[in-house]
Amino acid sequence: MMTELHLTATEQELFITLPKALREGWTVQKEVQQFKDTNKHLRTRVSFIKIRDPKLHVFKEQIEKAKGQKEIAKIVGEFDLKGVHQADLAELFFALGPKPLFQSIETMLRQAKTDEEIESIAALSLIRNALLRSFIRNYV
């Protein structure tokens, strides 16, 4: 069960402004890890993405057959990640890196209104925490 949020100091300030009912049951851990990503790292990570889930391969085929940007946008906008293999999600998040998660978590904290949204924030913060740890350990 997820009960922890890994939040930066700024994010913690946002969290405490949320209604008490939303904050109940969560323990906040301070996220102090930082990592400065580079284009080179990002490009290399993207080049090593391995996708296995058939659902994502169907998505790929749909994109390839799409006629025009509107159709591509429609396919992307309608794609549901539910049921996609967790290992593939991990692959994609690894390629993404932690940086976009900082902004996304902060934005989501400003707008959170439901328990489910807090759980998604907790999940993203947990993923960011693991990404930062693995990047700092290895990109030296």
Partner 1 sequence: MSATAVQPEAMPDRQESQEVKPLIPTPERLSELLEMDINEVRRMYQSATERGQLVDQIMAEQETLSEHHSNIYRDEMEELIRVGGEQLASNPEASLFELEQALTEVQQTLAAKRDFLTETSPGDIPEGAEEKAALLERVKESEVASKTEKEKSLWRKAWDAVTWLPRKHPIITTLLALAGAAWGIYLLWDYLAEVIVVPNPMEGAGEVADTVVAPTGGAVEGIPQGEIALPNSELPTPGPQDYFNPGGNTPSDIFASPTQPPPPPVTGNIPTGNVPTGTPPVDLPLAPSPQGPPPPVPGRNPTDFFRRGPL
Question: Closest CB to partner 1 among 18 and 130?
Answer: 130
Chosen residue from 8, 15, 26, 112 binding partner 1 by CB under 8 A: 8
Min dist CB 11 to partner 1, Å, is: 8
Q: How far apart are CA 63 and CA 114, in angstroms?
A: 33
| Footprint on residues 51-110 left by partner 1 (CB under 8 A) | 51-52, 56-57, 59-60, 63-70, 72-74, 76-87, 89-97, 99-104, 106-108, 110
The DSSP element (H or E) to which 42 belongs, if any, is helix 39-47
Q: How far apart are CA 33 and CA 12, in angstroms?
A: 15
Largest CA distance in the chain: 49
Question: Closest CB to partner 1 among 20 and 40?
Answer: 40
